[in-house]
Amino acid sequence: MNNIKFWKPFLLGATVVGGLSLFIQAKTADSYFELSKNMEVFSNIFKELNTYYVDPIEPGKLTKVGIDAMLNDLDPYTNYITESDIEDYEFMTTGKYGGIGAALRKKEKETFIGDIYENSPAQKAGLHSGDKIISIDGKSVFDKTIDEISVLLKGSAGTKIVMKVKDAFTDAEVERIVTRGEIEVSSVPYAGFIGANNDIAYVKLTQFTQNCGRMVRTALDSLKTANPKMKSVVLDLRGNPGGLLDEAVEVCNIFIERGQLVVSTKGKDKEWDKNFNTEGGAWDTKIPLAVLVNGSSASASEIVAGTVQDLDRGIVIGSKSYGKGLVQTTRPVGFNARLKLTTAKYYTPSGRCIQAIDYSHRDENGFADKFADSLIGTFKTKNGRIVKSGGGVTPEIITNDEKLSALAGTLYSKNYFFDYATQYVKQHKSIATPSSFFLTPLEFTDFSNWLSGKDYAYKTKTEILLDSLGSAAKEDKLYEASKVELAALKTKVMHDKKQDLLKNKDEVKRILENEIAARYYYQKGRIIQNLREDEAINKSIEILGKPEQIQAMLQPKK
């Protein structure tokens, strides 16, 4: 009897464990059955469509539509990559592709050469920004999309294509033989000095592609050699959408000592529970550092900014980052196609996840929203400062993101900046350096006169609201009684294009100068020219000149 009492708890425990094991096995079997059942249903529907549908179907196209619809129910980063899209995907991770090294600009049904990369096959073949593309290897490109034309332009390095273009400078139709090359778009398009004394290193990092950490380190080495008295560093991650997680760790390692946790990942599968530490020697762990971010800085950019912030290694300046704390991995699915899927969330050294949107919960309309305030956690940096999870990295110093006015947006979308820059280059063989090039008042007046008669009408927010008010009045049967007042109000707020041009002169002039500078100095010219009137850059220069203020900002508030 005593023996039975002694063994009873153990028998009960064995029963519970056994039951739990059977429950797990049953759940697993149910899961596999559901998967198998639904795959069979999908396959049967496909066969029935292929056999009996009234018109011929395209299996590849139909499969892609079905897969995309399925993935749309998850998050926007889980995508099906077809064999034909592999090259574009690999370009995002390597920065390399086979082609001519030029961007394209669309104007209605016609396509033009946009920005040309310096020393690219396009430049060597004599193509110019503003050239209208007529045909490629005898195939007309009229009314083709940019994607369709890109397919014709891309190809293995060393292969040739014949492009018929209307030359932007002579207006003559000519043929250019272009030998494709391996185009490598550098993730570090510009590195130089800023500040009155040219002792602040500035590095622009546009994407986290392979070896970008080495590129940043090499750029800083070169700047240090050029000016051994270099006092501080600005790392510009604005507009950087992210990329390779390993490279984010490498960039952090430039400023952070070996063995420091940078990011950890956690997923449903324990395979994705990992810690990523710095492994090499740092470039400099003491030099004052500012990291610039904005609403378009995402993923790997946020890992770097978040790590610098959590470890109190530097100051983050700009506007709140995008808020993408999800990790993607690609898996082969056969026939050279891949599935890019979210496998984990990442966490900065303080333990926070900066993911802003909760894709696991959607409303009745299928829309995912930001994490509720009740789910946002509070964490502490190395020095004890408070930082928050759920919604991007909030900078220590907030600056405004530049937003295009309605006028500037219209001029850009209608290619008027682009077209006038082409005309300007025809008339000027050279210009001053990007940092010192400005349009004269006479030249801006010439641009204003050139716009005369061109359609760049747009509706202000007030006009749009008045239109909505008029529509609502008609629905409520109140329009007849109020139409006189509405018409008078519309007349009062109607904008004058000439006045708008004068009111937004500084903005329009700056954008036009930037477009012109790019024609002579390429992408570097754009970046250098943009630095002249940059609020975040000015704040960086100001704060980096006050080391004691930086140290005070990196301490917890008392």
**Residue 228 in contact with residue 286, Cβ under 8 Å?**
no
Edge-to-edge, what's the strand order for the sheet holding 315-318? Answer: 190-194, 200-204, 232-236, 289-293, 315-318, 397-398
In a domain, 102, yes or no: yes
- Structure confidence by residue, pLDDT tens digits, 390-421: 889 999 999 998 888 989 999 999 999 999 99
Among candidate residues 440, 448, 439, 459, the one with its CA nearest the CA of residue 515: 439
Two structure tokens written together for 160: 């040739």
pLDDT at 478 over 90: no
pLDDT band at 26 (very low <50, low <70, confident <90, very high): low
pLDDT band at 25 (very low <50, low <70, confident <90, very high): low
In a shared domain, residues 209 and 134: no
Looking at per-residue pLDDT, the higher value among 449 and 85 belongs to: 449
Least confident of 1-15, 40-54, 306-320, 395-409: 1-15
Name the percent of the chain lying above pLDDT 70: 93
In a domain, 32, yes or no: yes
SS3 annotation, 367-408: CEEECCHHHCCEEECCCCCEEECCCCCCCCEECCCCCCCHHH
Two structure tokens written together for 388: 């928050």
Total structural domains in the chain?
A: 5
Domain that holds residue 129: 96-184
pLDDT value, residue 510: 96
**Residue 407 in contact with residue 505, Cβ under 8 Å?**
no
Least confident of 161-170, 276-285, 491-500: 491-500
Q: State mean pLDDT over 544-556.
A: 94
299 belongs to the catalytic site: yes
pLDDT value, residue 5: 47
In a shared domain, residues 27 and 133: no
CATH number of the domain where residue 319 is located: 3.90.226.10
In a shared domain, residues 23 and 152: no
Least confident of 135-149, 154-168, 457-471: 457-471
pLDDT value, residue 14: 44
Among candidate residues 121, 111, 181, the one with its CA nearest the CA of residue 148: 111
CA distances from 454 to 44, 188, 493 (A): 57, 38, 21
Which listed residue (299, 319, 321, 389) is catalytic? 299
CA distances from 237 to 56, 370, 500 (A): 49, 23, 33
pLDDT value, residue 8: 47
Element (H or E) spanning 114, and its range?
strand 110-116
Q: Please identify, among 184, 209, 230, the residue that sits at the C-terminal boundary of a domain.
A: 184
pLDDT at 17 over 50: no
Return the residue matching tokens 């394209």: 104
Looking at per-residue pLDDT, the higher value among 122 and 12 belongs to: 122
Among candidate residues 166, 183, 161, 188, the one with its CA nearest the CA of residue 117: 183
Looking at per-residue pLDDT, the higher value among 26 and 455 belongs to: 455
> CA–CA separation, 176 vs 524, rounded Å?
26
In a shared domain, residues 165 and 257: no
In a shared domain, residues 389 and 246: yes
- Structure confidence by residue, pLDDT tens digits, 244-275: 999 999 999 999 999 999 999 999 888 889 99
Which listed residue (144, 324, 350, 500) is catalytic? 324
Return the residue matching tokens 């991995």: 329
In a domain, 549, yes or no: no
Q: Please identify, among 161, 184, 207, the residue that sits at the C-terminal boundary of a domain.
A: 184
Mean pLDDT score of the chain: 90
Among candidate residues 435, 303, 359, the one with its CA nearest the CA of residue 76: 359
Which residue type sits at 171?
D
In a domain, 320, yes or no: yes
pLDDT at 539 over 50: yes
In a domain, 71, yes or no: no
229 belongs to the catalytic site: no
Supply the pTM of this predicted model.
0.87
In a domain, 53, yes or no: yes
pLDDT band at 15 (very low <50, low <70, confident <90, very high): very low
pLDDT band at 144 (very low <50, low <70, confident <90, very high): very high
pLDDT value, residue 494: 61
In a domain, 63, yes or no: no
In a shared domain, residues 414 and 519: yes
pLDDT band at 10 (very low <50, low <70, confident <90, very high): very low
pLDDT band at 20 (very low <50, low <70, confident <90, very high): very low
pLDDT value, residue 109: 94
In a domain, 419, yes or no: yes
In a shared domain, residues 317 and 358: yes
In a shared domain, residues 223 and 300: yes
pLDDT value, residue 28: 60
In a shared domain, residues 308 and 167: no
In a shared domain, residues 144 and 49: no
Neighbouring-strand partners of residue 318: 293, 398
In a shared domain, residues 227 and 370: yes
Which listed residue (115, 131, 236, 310) is catalytic? 310
Give residues with Cβ within 8 angstroms of 402, minimum separation 6: 535
pLDDT value, residue 30: 67
pLDDT value, residue 306: 98
In a shared domain, residues 126 and 209: no
Q: State mean pLDDT over 89-110.
A: 91
pLDDT value, residue 403: 85
pLDDT band at 32 (very low <50, low <70, confident <90, very high): confident
